[in-house]
Chains A and B, each alone.
Chain A
Amino acid sequence: MTRYDAIVIGAGHNGLTAAGVLARGGRRVLVLEKNAGLGGAAAGYEIAPGFQAPRYAHLLHAWHPQIEKQLDLAANGLSFARRDLPTLALAEDGAHVVIEGGAARLLSGAAHPDAAAYATLHRRLVRFAGVLSAKLLETPPQFHRPDWRDLASLAKLGFDVRRLGAADAREFLRVLLSNARDVILDEIGDGPLAGALALDAVMGGHTGPRSPGTALTLLYRLAQGGGRHLPKGGMAAFCTALAQSAQSHGAEIRRSAGVAAVTVENDRVTGVLLDSGETLGAPVVLSSLDTRTTLALTGVEHFDAEAVRRVRHIRCKGATAKINLALSGLPAFTGVDPDDLTGRILVAPSVQSLETGFDAVKYGELPAHPALEVLIPSRLDPTLVDGGGHVMSIIVQYVPYHLKDGWTAGARERLAATVLDLLERHAPGLRSLIVAQDVLTPLDIERETGAPGGHWHHGELAVDQMLTLRPVNGMARYALPVGGLYLCGAAAHPGGDIIGAAGHNAARQAMKAPQTKTEGHAA
């Protein structure tokens, strides 16, 4: 039996990050990926011959620069087509808004009436987000028998809040648990600008802008200033760089190697059993899968019933679909110069439209007015397409996992038609450019990436499932109760999006623990 110091299950960006950190720590690491391709939800693929598209995630959002540096990703081939992409928020009446960080203006060149208020709001939110973003690369503190690090972390959080100043600290605590809609519309009028900010708060989640706790998700999205970056060569190149970074320090990556079980003896992991029947030994196993799947692979009997109950009740209903298009040319958006199509293009006309859009998900229906985040990555990075075409990547918010009548071929077509109709109102003739088209429902996301419920974050990113409560109380420090078993994916703190922090933190935590723990010392 081949033995490793650590086995990482899943070669998504978190799994690869964990492998990179472990390999740099001198551990002999093996990464196991059930799919033929790497990247998980950050994978890229060829949608049509000569067209490279991002499969699911299409940007690095809040990607942590410290991890980028630690893993030498630049040396391993990561570069950016553009950092800090601008946002174009489309308006029904043609008064489109261009947003660059805290600066908002009308595309026509005129000043946005809410520009000053928006700048103030944005600055304040980024400041608040900064208080919390310090926690992204930390293992959540434990309240039950805290050690000095836990106390220091909590003290620092308290200190950081105080340092905002009396007025802002009060405001921080006031908005922290409130909803995105109130935080935004208290300051600016409803419209595409407000809609763009609200979409940040709800994208990928099973929430509307009025859902409690969405102010916190908005702050989460604004960590590191909220910038979104487009890797050169697309998401595929980003994953390749992560893989190379790990491999350059000796990590092995095996593709098409699904894990059938995590093996346990005397309350400690001993390795994994592959679908092929092969067993691999390691004293440490890190799972980038969701918590429930990890428990199932390990065997429910190894977890106390209360822990299993908490995991069973993780709120995890995906509400986001993906549509990828290969286009024969650049679509013409009415009133928009092709030079202004380099960033995110949003169809989220107002906060109110998002809230009513959420209804479809609540009732298991196809959305009549989904919100869209559209990206034409080939506009910035021509290498993605051989020849003259373009690829368009569309994130469709408010598509239910449980569609009332099931996800039939007809339902997929109706979803695509709704989205294309919506886009054609701004880009007439878009349909005539389509060379190839993929509709990926939350069900597909679950099947391909393992994300339960098709949920990007392997669990709703909400206040009751964050920090010391992520994924559940008692499992928030990456180590699961079975000795040597760790969570290293989006299910763990700090959660989803392409941040890499979960993988990084889990690997660091796994390296801290002695390689052999004694019986009864596991939790």
Chain B
Amino acid sequence: MTAHTLEKLLPQGTTAPRPMVQRGLAPSPFDARLRPLNLHQDWMPWAGYLSARRFDSVEAEYFAIRNQATLFDISPMHKYRVTGPDAERVMNRLMTRDVRKLKPGRVGYSLWCDEDGYVIDDGTLFRFGDDDFRLCCQEPQYAWLLDIAWGFDVQVHEESDEIAGLSLQGPTSFAVLEAAGLGQLATLKPFDVVKVDDDLTVSRTGFTGDLGYELWVPAEKALALWDRIWAAGHDFGLRPIGYAALDLARTEAGFVVCGVDFKSIHTALRPSRGRTPFELGADRLVDFSKGPFNGRRALLKHAKDGPRYQLVGLEIEGNKAPHSAYVYHRKKTEAGHITSTLWSPTCKRNIALAMLKAPYGVDVTGDLWVEIYHDKEGKWERIMAPAWIAERPFFRHTRRAATPPARF
């Protein structure tokens, strides 16, 4: 009865070759500058992009973060532009915090949950105008944003590949900006974002707990931005850094990473593996008074029932970082495990983020021990080291928030 055939669905007489698709990891917009600088050619995948793990020595890069200035390519971050008359309502529906309180020109850190109150991801929300937001995050969220936005008058645009991002962090980072002719950014307060010119947007944000900025340009302007900052940084100890060094700094700063310290509920293998904002210690980011938002009902129940887990900061005796170690109560009952750790050169002690199973970390906070396996001069050794819960962040420098910022 019907002449619906496969042939009808295909364009007639076309033998055009398949479109070229990127195979393997894509080069970042800064690739042409990063590649020659990467002495080890030590790369790692990040959201489909080639991302540097280290350029030279992780230690040198780490100390540059804390004492000089550093450039880290954050272009692979997922970036979404949400615009339109209902943009604020949609972002408020997404986020656990009250987005209505976020003013244009400000950036907010927030997380968002599924209907069961489990965290999907966390990220930074840039508010450019009343109806104009950009969401930067670790995990792909396009489909989820479309779900959240359904029924509202907004446009959701994925601009991950269109916008290049460069994170300039460290005590001399403002001096670098000034040398690059961006001295007017002295008035920028933490979590401010400003459009410098048609192409360049700068926010005073970062992942290190120190003074720092993030610079955003269209991908095709990436190399010009790099050259401008790189040239300006010569006298201020500017170095490129890879993720390995940043990971140390962010742990000191107490920041969690989705996929490392907790699993997004959208990638968790079973529902119970999800974590609530309370379990991640982000209670202050959940605002029940703001009206409906995704997961609110479930979170009310979680708030009533109490956390099943608790992400805590730990300090551990000794100088051997307890990677992937178990945490014990009274040296015998398993209480949880370490998710991120280092011996902090700045804090001069062993620090860690640990996911403890309630009641540990909630009602039972003392008598914690960490079992550390390590190679002691070629001999495998086991240490049962005492640990205690410590305030996060482990490191946060007053120059982080000083406005105007110090030169160095």
Contacts and interface: CB of A to CB of B under 8 A. Distances in A.
A186 interface: no
Contacts of A304: 114-115, 294-295, 297
Contacts of B150: 300, 305, 308-309, 312
Contacts of B89: 301
Contacts of B93: 301, 305
Interface in A275-316: 296, 300-302, 304-309, 312
B115 A267 contact: no
B151 interface: yes
A520 B304 contact: yes
B4 A306 contact: no
Interface string B138-167: 000000100110111000000000000000
A523 B300 CA distance: 11
B151 A481 contact: no
Output the residue of B147, B151, B304 with the most chain A CB within 10 A: B151
Contact of A523 (B144, B152, B291, B297): B297
Interface in A453-504: 481
A305 B297 contact: no
B119 to A, nearest CB: 14
Interface of B: 1-2, 4, 89, 93, 114-115, 144, 147-148, 150-152, 291-292, 294-298, 300-301, 304
A126 to B, nearest CB: 35
Contact of B292 (A267, A356, A359, A360): A267
Interface in A364-391: 365, 368
Interface string A508-521: 00000000000110
A300 B300 CA distance: 20
Contacts of B148: 305
A353 B147 CA distance: 41
A244 B243 CA distance: 74
A359 B1 contact: yes
Interface in A325-365: 356, 359-360, 363, 365
Contacts of B291: 301
A521 B93 CA distance: 20
A300 B94 CA distance: 13
A518 to B, nearest CB: 10
Given A520-B297, A520-B301, A520-B304, A307 B1 contact: no
A522 interface: yes
B294 A296 contact: no
Interface string A169-181: 0000000000000
12 contacts: A300-B150, A300-B151, A301-B291, A305-B147, A306-B114, A308-B151, A309-B147, A359-B2, A365-B1, A481-B297, A520-B301, A523-B298
A306 B152 CA distance: 15
Output the residue of B4, B89, B114, B115 with the most chain A CB within 10 A: B115
B151 A296 contact: yes
B245 to A, nearest CB: 37
Given A305-B147, A306-B115, 8 more contacts: A267-B292, A301-B292, A304-B115, A305-B150, A306-B114, A307-B115, A308-B150, A520-B300
The 8 closest A-B pairs by CB, nearest first: A520-B300, A300-B151, A304-B115, A306-B115, A305-B147, A363-B2, A305-B148, A301-B292
B147 A308 contact: yes
A115 B294 CA distance: 58
Nearest to B4: A363
A72 B151 CA distance: 43
Contacts of B2: 359, 363, 365
A305 B1 contact: no
B1 A368 contact: yes
A360 B144 CA distance: 35
Output the residue of A301, A302, A305, A368 with the most chain B CB within 10 A: A305
Contacts of B292: 267, 301-302
Interface string A402-420: 0000000000000000000
A360 B1 CA distance: 8
A359 B301 CA distance: 49
Nearest to B89: A301
Contacts of A368: 1
B61 to A, nearest CB: 40
Nearest to B145: A305
Contacts of B295: 304
Nearest to A303: B292
A265 to B, nearest CB: 10
A368 B1 CA distance: 9
Contacts of B298: 523
Output the residue of A267, A301, A302, A312 with the most chain B CB within 10 A: A301
Contacts of B147: 305-306, 308-309
B300 A305 contact: no
Contacts of B304: 520
Contacts of A520: 297, 300-301, 304
Nearest to A310: B115
A424 to B, nearest CB: 22
A168 to B, nearest CB: 38
Nearest to A522: B297
